[in-house]
Amino acid sequence: MLFHEVQYAGVWVFAILGGVGLVLPVLFIVLARVAAKGDQPIAAPVLRVVAGIVFLLASGIFLYAGKMTTEVDGAGVRVTFGWLPLYQRAVPADGITAVEAVEYDPAEFGGSGIRGRGKDRLLSQSGRKAARLTLKDGGRLLVGSQRAEELAEAVRKIGR
């Protein structure tokens, strides 16, 4: 392995999860009290559905956006999002024509994450540094990294 980096989600993801961690117990306490009273039979099922939706959304955000792993080996570059490999982009070594470490503005792509338009793509967890891969098909792939220079150098090594 020439390069391996794991980046974790920004504070906002953990803030959302913390909020959910506080909201769900409150919802379940309210649900228990409403069910105990028995005077509003529709409220209990509605609260159950709301609590379930909130839990599923928070879990999905965490599993999908909580972690980004970038690896470079002899086969090429591989970027995986999520604690479970829910999204993976692999670029073979022979599919890369050039690489450079760059600083970019996430707003150009609509923020961090899996973004892009046309043949230009961004895979980023956070920050403004990336290795820009120029691909054989004419597209460009920006791979966000806190160690962009090191990532670019590793990609250069597999291209030799």
Percent helix, strand, coil in the chain, to 5, is 40, 35, 25
Residues pairing with 100 in the sheet: 132
Give the model's pLDDT for residue 20: 75
Q: Would the pLDDT of 66 be above 90? A: no
pLDDT one-digit tens code per residue, 104-121: 999 888 888 889 877 889
Cα distance between residue 156 and residue 152, in whole Å: 6
Higher pLDDT, 113 or 72: 72
Q: What is the mean pLDDT of residues 19-23?
A: 76
pTM: 0.77
- Asked which of 31-45, 47-61, 64-78, 96-110 is least confident by mean pLDDT, the reply is 31-45
Q: Which CATH class is domain 68-158?
A: mainly beta
